[in-house]
Chain A
Amino acid sequence: MTDQLGALTTVFTEFYYWITVVLMFLIHVGFCMYEVGASRYKHHQHTLMKNTMLIPLVTVTWFLFGWWIYWAFPTGPGLAPSIMNESAALITDDSLFSAKWYLPNSDLMAVNLGDHISGVFWAAFLLFSWTAASIVSGAVIERITTFAFGICAIAIGSVFWSIDAAWGWHFDGWMLKILGYHDAYASGVIHAVAGGFALGILMVLGPRIGKFSSSGEPRNIGPRNPWLVTIGLFLIYTGFWGFYAACNIPIFDLGPEYGMEGVTYFTATNIYVTPTTLGGITMNFLMSLSGGLLAGYVIAKGDPFWTYSSGLAGIICASAGNDLYHPIQSLIIAMIGVVIAYKLHYWVERKFKIDDAVGAVAVHGYAGVAGLIICGFVLNGYPSSGYSVGSMWVGTDYAPINPLGMFIGAIIMFGVLGLIPGWIIAKVLHGMGKLRIPREVEIAGLDYNLLEAARDDEKAVSSSTR
């Protein structure tokens, strides 16, 4: 940093991402409040701790291997050559964006005067990882063991979401090149994959005791503290602002980046390094939130839990293309996504006896998948990258955005990297007898011993004041 303009750009970008990380922390605060509010009193404290402990577990593993996976896997490996070194192998060479620099023993993974940016990128992506794991956390409350959830959180937070980000979010990702995949604010990359992963676990984990009658009719176990759920969801909305900002590059000169001789064009870009504006995405964020709330209120007949969740589902559905949509398109797409998510949730619940305690699979998974598919139609023909645009399936250049590619992308996100790994991991944990808490504990309440100890403490305090 020896010239002022370069230093200003670097320090501004460093600070910009740092702010997004702080904002995104609120997503996790919101998830914790939301889950505790949705759980029953006798499970509150364990529910809270389960979600809280994913923070250190995912952080440590993100440091050890999650971040490395993101930089190593854009080529598949073996599916499409990198534009940096023209090899389809794992990117571990000496190139500028190689995973080599992000091994946990690299001197760049620390305070390093030669690199001001990587640490805040690492943190921004880590907060996405927490979100992916936290989405799963809500679906499985009141019956999964903390040990099993920790393993699942690491798997989705530091492995599978990282692979899907490398494939469908990295500027060199094979899904962009072969499929024309476009997912600017992570309808699929975070939400569909985490929703699919949660569904895979739920298929093995089974419902909470009492959720279904002996004839198979579902019973409602509604949120026990709707006010905590409300504040939790408002905090998730708030943190989502940070998430949107974190998915952008705030200032970038696209002229030299695209190889346009003599052209200087400074702009904000999305994660694919194609232009957008913070103003435009702000409008789209608010319009998709509004669309989700409007549709949710109608379809859920004013139920607060579903109305708030629908606001979130609306944003999630529109997120894939919110870098380019018109705000009214964004609102309509959000409304469509909410209707699909709500209807599918109850259909799957009845048909397959899936107990998704907070509607996470619907809000994140189904709305995310719907958003990807819709994006393929609405943005059909847009370049998926600014570097070079060719045709589908070639893999040496970038396919344009198209419906078929986005549909396949949705299957990869929800099914291949979400549902299947979630199901397999849950099966293994179940086989080890580690997945689900004993029936007697679920009935008594995970917090029984804590509550009993608190009562004894109170008795002791009371007796000393007589």
Chain B
Amino acid sequence: MATVTNWIDHLSAAEVQGAIYPGVGTEGILVIVLVVIWIGWHVMTDASESKELSSLARKRHSANDHKSNITDW
């Protein structure tokens, strides 16, 4: 994975390679992973939010019921 194993050799090359992160050339795969994480987050949180909202809605609390849950400072 290491793109650079010797800084002296790297910086004294005729043309210094700019990208120095591990796995140069795998950027496309990393982008796909990021897209999956991004979309997956929406899917998961939407499902859990919908579930939470519908269960809370069924309880039909009044506007002031939450006050009985306020904890001490």
A197 to B32, alpha carbons, bound, how many Å? Answer: 30
Report the minimum CB–CB distance from B61 to chain A (whole Å): 4
**B14 interfacial by beta-carbon distance below 8 Å:** no
Of the stretches A14-22, A120-128, A441-449, the one at the interface is: A441-449
The list of the 7 closest CB pairs from A to B, nearest first, reads A114-B18, A444-B61, A451-B69, A105-B27, A438-B57, A107-B19, A440-B57
Report the minimum CB–CB distance from A133 to chain B (whole Å): 15
Residues of A at the B interface (CB closer than 8 Å) are 41-42, 57, 60-61, 63-64, 104-115, 145-147, 150-151, 434, 437-441, 443-445, 447-449, 451-452, 454-455, 457-458
- Contact, CB under 8 Å: A454 / B69: yes
With beta carbons under 8 angstroms apart, the residue of B30, B49, B59, B72 that contacts A458 is: B72
A444 to B60, alpha carbons, bound, how many Å? Answer: 7
B7-30 with Cβ < 8 A to chain A = 16-21, 24, 27-28, 30
With beta carbons under 8 angstroms apart, the residue of B21, B30, B34, B71 that contacts A60 is: B34
Residues in chain B near residue A445, CB distance under 8 A = 61, 66
- Contact, CB under 8 Å: A145 / B49: yes
Kindly report which residue of chain A lies nearest to residue B35, judged by CB atoms: A64
Residues in chain B near residue A105, CB distance under 8 A = 27-28, 30-31
- Contact, CB under 8 Å: A113 / B18: yes
With beta carbons under 8 angstroms apart, the residue of A113, A146, A440 that contacts B45 is: A146
| Further 5 A-B residue pairs, CB within 8 A, beyond A42-B66, A438-B56, A447-B66 | A108-B18, A147-B42, A151-B42, A451-B71, A455-B68
Report the minimum CB–CB distance from B49 to chain A (whole Å): 6
- Contact, CB under 8 Å: A448 / B53: no
- Contact, CB under 8 Å: A444 / B18: no
Residues in chain A near residue B42, CB distance under 8 A = 147, 150-151
Report the minimum CB–CB distance from A186 to chain B (whole Å): 27
Residues in chain B near residue A41, CB distance under 8 A = 66, 70
A360 to B66, alpha carbons, bound, how many Å? Answer: 28
- Contact, CB under 8 Å: A111 / B49: no
A150 to B19, alpha carbons, bound, how many Å? Answer: 33
- Contact, CB under 8 Å: B61 / A440: yes
With beta carbons under 8 angstroms apart, the residue of A57, A106, A146 that contacts B49 is: A146
- Contact, CB under 8 Å: A449 / B52: yes
- Contact, CB under 8 Å: B21 / A458: no
With A64-B35, A444-B61 already in contact, the answer to whether A438 and B53 are too (CB < 8 A) is yes
A113 to B24, alpha carbons, bound, how many Å? Answer: 13
Residues in chain B near residue A452, CB distance under 8 A = 69
